[in-house]
Amino acid sequence: MIDSIVAGLSGLGAGVAYLYTAGLPNAIMLIVGAVLLYLGAKKDVEPLLLIPIGFGCVLVNIPLSELGGEGGMLKILYNMGVANELFPLLIFVAIGAMTDFGPLMENPRILLFGAAGQFGIFLTLMVALALGFPALEAVSIAIIGACDGPTAIYVTSQYAPHLLGPVSVAAYSYMALVPIIMPPIMRALTTEKERMIKMVTVKRSVSQTTKVLFPLVVIVIGGLIAPKGLPLLGTIMLGNFMRESGVVARLTKASENEIANVVTLFLGLAIGGTMEGHAFLKPTTLAIFGMGFLAISLDVAAGVLFGKLVCKLTGGKVNPLIGAAGISAYPMAARVVQHEGLKYNKKNHLLMHAAGANTGGQIGSVIAAAVMLSVLKGMGLI
């Protein structure tokens, strides 16, 4: 009788005993999870993602809960939509349904800013390779520079699933930190005279027919050049086609709201579930966070430098600051550019130009990932 009571009590105390003996990594991750929850709930840092991620992180690090093991809820969610890439693709449908590519279509040449804003990916890839990461891991780390959470998750879950936790948390954290990361780089690379350049107001010139045809053109051209990335391009453009066609308002709203909300919750929990202490707390994780920061900083720097080049080529008609918006963090990056522009010229409203570059960055990040995957396929690495 006493033996069975002691055995029963040992079951109740097993979690505490584990935490005390071998659970230091779990204890640290419980704190990390709490920090993520604090940032999301109190500081409004990407709360839609950081709260489910933080909660998943806490749940998976409570010893012996088995939520992250085979048959556990978090593992089921992971297998259901992360391992097979379904969740990031559904998020892309939502992003497409939410995004107005009109400002980009007003001045299509601005798409090149979206290309320049991806340069950080390739420079970071070189750094990751120099640090000794294998090719596919280096690609997954560099893709943080796409500044686009779903793209980073899509690529990493396919080619370096063991890095999914740190890569996704880094991607979303740095996206939230864009208003802090961008301004010092923008100021360091431009002169006050350049920052004061006033750009001509954008006139409406895009017909509804063009807006409806745009998603189809993107998937045909993008799909022919980079077929491996068609799931990414196809889903974002499906959402945008539904939006612009205007005939499936219910589906568009469902994509923007119900689907996006449910998938975001599941995706966040599943990612949090990959942050088990023993697997997460490695020097690699720190390196990934460092390189993620580098990637996004280099994106911004490349965008601004490209803006300076375009400024010179157009005889000073383009404010180089809008180059910084050529990343995927939409609409935050465009707002930061508008804010910086107004600081130096109170009458200078760069928002529409920056929004064009920003939506160009969204397409640019997806195209960059698609092209990278197709090049990897061509090289026989995937």
Residues in the chain: 382
| Residue in 211, 237, 242 with CA at minimum distance from that of residue 222 | 237
Q: How far apart are CA 186 and CA 337, in angstroms?
A: 9
* Residue 342 or 375 with smaller CB distance to another protein: 375
* Residue 81 or 114 with smaller CB distance to another protein: 114
* Residue 162 or 377 with smaller CB distance to another protein: 377
CA distances from 63 to 18, 166, 279 (A): 7, 20, 14
Q: How far is the CB of 105 from another protein (least distance, A)?
A: 5
Q: How far is the CB of 239 from another protein (least distance, A)?
A: 18
| Residue in 154, 186, 188 with CA at minimum distance from that of residue 171 | 154
SS3 347: coil
> Which of residues 30, 49, 125, 298 is near another protein by CB under 8 A?
125
Q: How far is the CB of 330 from another protein (least distance, A)?
A: 16
* Residue 92 or 280 with smaller CB distance to another protein: 92
57 neighbors 168 (Cβ within 8 angstroms): no
* Residue 34 or 213 with smaller CB distance to another protein: 213
SS3 317: coil
Q: How far is the CB of 324 from another protein (least distance, A)?
A: 17
Could you say whether residue 205 binds another protein (CB under 8 A)?
yes
> Which of residues 86, 206, 230, 248 is near another protein by CB under 8 A?
206
Could you say whether residue 297 binds another protein (CB under 8 A)?
no
Percent of the chain that is helix, strand, coil (3-state, to 5): 80, 0, 20
DSSP string, 168-225: HHHHHHHHHTHHHHHHHHHHHHS-HHHHTPPPPPPPP---HHHHHHHHHHHHHHHHHH
> Which of residues 158, 210, 245, 284 is near another protein by CB under 8 A?
210
Site residues, another protein (CB under 8 A):
104-105, 108-112, 114-115, 118-119, 122-123, 125-126, 129-130, 135, 138-139, 204-210, 213-214, 217-218, 221-222, 225-226, 360, 363-364, 367-368, 371-372, 374-375, 379
